[in-house]
């Protein structure tokens, strides 16, 4: 067993940490308050090669391991979770395209996606279909060498910048079970009838947009059917969501780490009754619990990433990591807010923003209760093995 990062992973984390400390942390609170899109930070992420992290080298990417993938989201979220969101859907979609796309699709899109010249996301959720993806109503009807797409999607990250946007559709509404009639189409920006109608206001997760998109008789070339065969959309999406859980677990680690850092620093500096509040046992217990839970979540997340790196099926492990790390992030934000007292409720302190962002972690990429059912089903079916 080796619980240490490799030299390459250490170097990657160090460069990310410097980037976050110098370029993101000083502006995050102000830019979020002003509703400013982080264009300058996005440009720097392009130069760092972060948009191509999960793209194979033959298409211009870094072909990074999943531990490095996790480190990226952890470090970025330590500075500003919304920034991590810009890379989250993009990386998930690129990985899905690299794994399931036709050779023509890979050559057309991946090189420019790797540099950030193109960006992408993924359109799954609908007003009446979130967790139950088989309940989507967006349809794609074949018409010669095109598909005609009609429907709408909600909560789509990167919607205003995605080109192409992978969209989960029903190419056959009559087959049962429903997932056998589902496919993914790559819809290019500017296609007539494809419209981003509004940005959805949110409690947290600022910095990146979450949008409603509408498809009104949108004609998509049949060559943009992911993988070139109908009926594989659900399997393609679920394989990507396995990676997506790791993304959320990494973001949760970043939020929890920052909440711990802010709480510890404040406890050392804040005085009451003539001494730092860090000297009081009640505060010490909170700090000890935060640190222990954070490190446990980190080890669980890196373990699940290493399972994916070995090529193993890891829905059980990534489900555990996403469940535990997200709950730890929420609890760490709450405990750090308590350490801060009234100041923790003020928008002038970082903990208020971390508290708002942490709430999404227990919802995004499957709620905590859904993760528990995923974990339990894998265990009951004998498909998951505990231990190293």
Q: What is the 3-state secondary structure (H, E, C) of 215-228?
A: EEEEEEEHHHEHHH
pLDDT digits (tens, 9 = 90+) for 260-315: 999 999 999 999 999 999 999 999 999 999 999 999 999 999 999 999 999 888 88
CATH of 7-115, one of 1.10.540.10, 3.60.21.10, 3.40.720.10, 2.60.120.330: 1.10.540.10
Tokens of 34: 């002003």
pTM of the predicted structure, to 2 decimals: 0.95
Residue 110 near residue 155, CB atoms below 8 Å? no
**Topology of the domain covering 133-230:** Butyryl-CoA Dehydrogenase, subunit A; domain 2 (2.40.110)
**Topology of the domain covering 235-380:** Butyryl-CoA Dehydrogenase, subunit A; domain 3 (1.20.140)
Q: What is the pLDDT of residue 52?
A: 97
Regions in the chain scoring below 50 on pLDDT? none
What gap in Å lies between CA 224 and CA 222, rounded to an integer?
A: 5
User: The tokens 């007539």 sit on which residue?
Assistant: 192
The domain limits of the chain are 7-115, 133-230, 235-380
321 backbone dihedrals φ, ψ, rounded to 5°? -65, -45
Query: Active site residue: 32, 230, 352, 365, which one?
Result: 365
The distance of Cα 243 from the centroid of its chain, to the nearest Å, equals 9
Q: What is the pLDDT of residue 303?
A: 93
What gap in Å lies between CA 301 and CA 318, rounded to an integer?
A: 7
| Residue 10 among the catalytic residues | no
């Amino acid at each position: 067993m080796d619980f240490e990062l490799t030299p390459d992973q250490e170097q990657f984390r160090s460069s990310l940490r410097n980037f976050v400390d110098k370029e993101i942390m000083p502006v995050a609170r102000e830019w979020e308050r002003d509703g400013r899109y982080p264009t300058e930070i996005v440009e720097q992420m392009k130069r760092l090669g972060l948009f191509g992290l999960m793209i194979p080298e033959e298409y211009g990417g870094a072909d990074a391991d999943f531990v490095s993938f996790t480190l990226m989201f952890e470090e970025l979220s330590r500075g500003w979770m919304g920034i991590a969101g810009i890379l989250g859907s993009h990386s998930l979609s690129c990985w899905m395209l690299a794994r399931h796309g036709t050779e023509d699709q890979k050559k057309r899109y991946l090189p420019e996606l790797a540099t950030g010249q193109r960006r992408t996301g993924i359109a799954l959720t609908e007003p009446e279909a979130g967790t139950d993806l088989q309940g989507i109503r967006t349809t794609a009807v074949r018409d010669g060498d095109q598909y005609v797409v009609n429907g709408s999607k909600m909560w789509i990250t990167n919607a205003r910048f995605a080109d192409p946007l992978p969209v989960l559709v029903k190419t056959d509404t009559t087959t049962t079970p429903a997932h056998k009639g589902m496919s993914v189409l790559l819809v290019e920006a500017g296609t007539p009838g494809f419209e981003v109608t509004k940005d959805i206001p949110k409690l947290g997760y600022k910095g990146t947009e979450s949008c409603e998109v509408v498809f009104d008789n949108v004609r998509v070339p049949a060559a943009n059917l992911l993988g070139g065969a109908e009926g594989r959309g659900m399997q393609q999406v679920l394989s990507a969501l396995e990676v997506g859980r790791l993304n959320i677990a990494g973001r949760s680690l970043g939020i929890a780490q920052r909440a711990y850092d802010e709480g510890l620093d404040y406890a050392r500096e804040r005085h009451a009754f003539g001494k730092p509040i860090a000297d009081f046992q009640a505060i010490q217990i909170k700090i000890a619990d935060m640190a222990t839970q954070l490190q446990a979540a980190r080890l669980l997340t890196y373990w699940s990433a290493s399972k994916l790196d070995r090529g193993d099926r890891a829905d059980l492990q990534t489900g555990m990591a996403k469940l535990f790390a997200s709950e730890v992030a929420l609890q760490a934000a709450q405990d750090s807010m308590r350490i801060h007292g009234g100041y923790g409720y003020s928008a002038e302190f970082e903990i208020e923003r971390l508290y708002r962002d942490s709430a999404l972690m227990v919802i995004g990429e499957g709620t905590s209760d859904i993760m528990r059912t995923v974990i339990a089903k894998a265990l009951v079916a004998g498909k998951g093995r505990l231990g190293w």
